[in-house]
Amino acid sequence: MDTALSGISAPGRLAAEDEDIGAEELALAARNHGLPLEALRYGVTPAGLHYVLVHYDIPAADPGTWRLTVGGRVDRPLSLDLAALRALPAVTRRVTMECAGNGRARLLPRPVSQPWLVEGVGTADWTGVPLRTVLAEAGVRAEAVEAVFTGADHGVERGVEQDYARSLPVAVAAGTEPEVLLAYAMNGGPLPPQHGFPLRLVVPGWYGMAHVKWLRDITLSDVPFEGFQQALAYRYRRDPEDPGEPVTLIAPRALMVPPGFPDFMSRLRVVRAGPVPLEGRAWSGHGPVTRVELSCDGGRTWTDAAVEPGARDGRSSRAWQAWHGVWRAAPGRYVLMARATDATGRTQPLGQAWNRGGFGNNAVQRVPVLCRR
């Protein structure tokens, strides 16, 4: 009998042109739920409504025996329990987190993986210790180039057995802009199991894959990390041979609270004629959002929405910003759109920016609406 992992864990693939979302993608989507878009109303997403993405299983964690170890190229290797981490000065940061695969299911051809439409996003108040505090205590040696973060979860992916692990350059890990956190609380309560209990990394402005959950070890390394989630996954590739660029900061996106009320199956929105308030949130990992434009005619004409200013304090400017406008709706069928632009001039394309992993697809959201008398 063939017991090779490759027999149960196939390489990444693209769906055939006429291939609908299948049972494996459905199983992933049922495990990894998104933000119900009406929850864009909350500036801070209630923990149970925050999107979830778990590659393998949520690991069992005993807070009594749990330790964070810090080793590798450091002067003083550390083994910290939760009480030791809680004794260090803590900060709270409001951070919008988005899965790099958000938008993947809209791509053609579709990369077969977690089939997000647009809902792989949420914002939380994360409390914990700045990572640089712990790195300073350990004493990062001059030859260290990266910090490797390993979670307690274990699985197989594309034939490779692994612990979930990702790295950051030392300059990012020990930096202040953004300030990376070792977070033990979410929205003022302990981390829920699915969000990384008892400890996770929070890397403000970066796509979700960098925010390693169930964090158990940090190893400082003098060579770039070549682990699966770093070197193979999470790269913008055109084809399997293309080494691609690593996925890092979140591209700008605006999302709308779906107006009116929905049809159960199609989710199509129904509104009554007259002024319809439109509101939503917009964010970018590259800088504050400076403009949100609305279109009520499928992208032919655009008007500016009012946008809440981005935070002045650079360290806390990694949370989404509220926007609002009004649509004077007359009976008919429409496609509503919202497009964000950030302070660096980055904006959202109307069409897809295709890549093989289905990462960073920030194409403008389309919201079909039926307006009744």
Ligand X SMILES: Nc1nc2c(c(=O)[nH]1)N[C@H]1C(S)=C(S)[C@@H](COP(=O)(O)O)O[C@H]1N2
Residues of this chain that interact with ligand X (CB under 6 A) are: 50-55, 97, 99, 151, 153, 164, 194-195, 208-209, 211-214
Query: What residues numbered 83-102 form the site for Mo ion, per CB under 5 A?
Result: 99
CB-based closest residue to Mo ion: 99
Q: How far is CA 237 from the centre of its chain?
A: 19
Question: Considering beta carbons, is residue 99 or 212 the nearer one to Mo ion?
Answer: 99
Site string for Mo ion, 33-62 (x = CB under 5 A): --------------------x---------
Distance CA 94, CA 147 (A): 24
> What is the smallest separation between the CB atom of 152 and ligand X, expressed in angstroms?
7
Cis? peptide before 198, omega within 30° of 0: yes
Helix (H) or strand (E) holding 79: strand 78-80
> What is the smallest separation between the CB atom of 131 and Mo ion, expressed in angstroms?
20
Tokens representing residue 147 in the block: 């910090």
153 binds, among Mo ion, ligand X, none (CB under 5 to 8 A by kind): ligand X
Interacting residues of 353 by C-beta distance below 8 A, sequence separation 6+:
360, 361, 362, 363
> What is the smallest separation between the CB atom of 163 and ligand X, expressed in angstroms?
8
Question: Considering beta carbons, is residue 99 or 249 the nearer one to ligand X?
Answer: 99
Tokens representing residue 352 in the block: 């897809």
318 binds, among ligand X, Mo ion, none (CB under 5 to 8 A by kind): none
> What is the smallest separation between the CB atom of 234 and Mo ion, expressed in angstroms?
8
> What is the smallest separation between the CB atom of 224 and ligand X, expressed in angstroms?
20
Question: Considering beta carbons, is residue 121 or 271 the nearer one to ligand X?
Answer: 121
> What is the smallest separation between the CB atom of 212 and ligand X, expressed in angstroms?
5
110 binds, among Mo ion, ligand X, none (CB under 5 to 8 A by kind): none
Within the chain, where are the H helices? 23-31, 82-86, 131-138, 170-173
Pairing of strands 121-130, 189-190: unpaired
Q: Is 357 in the site for Mo ion (CB under 5 A)?
A: no
Distance CA 145, CA 168 (A): 9
Contact 155, 56 (CB under 8 A): yes
Cis? peptide before 109, omega within 30° of 0: yes
Beta-bridged to residue 124, according to DSSP, are: 95
Q: Is 208 in the site for Mo ion (CB under 5 A)?
A: yes
> What is the smallest separation between the CB atom of 15 and Mo ion, expressed in angstroms?
19
Q: How many CA atoms lie within 13 A of 205 on its CB side?
A: 19
Question: Considering beta carbons, is residue 194 or 352 the nearer one to ligand X?
Answer: 194
- Residue 158's SS3 state is coil
Question: Considering beta carbons, is residue 139 or 193 the nearer one to ligand X?
Answer: 193
236 binds, among ligand X, Mo ion, none (CB under 5 to 8 A by kind): none
Give the total of residues touching Mo ion (CB under 5 A): 4
Interacting residues of 161 by C-beta distance below 8 A, sequence separation 6+:
5, 154, 155
234 binds, among ligand X, Mo ion, none (CB under 5 to 8 A by kind): none
Distance CA 304, CA 322 (A): 13
> What is the smallest separation between the CB atom of 97 and Mo ion, expressed in angstroms?
9
Q: Which spans of this chain sit near Mo ion (rule: CB under 5 A)? A: 53, 99, 208-209
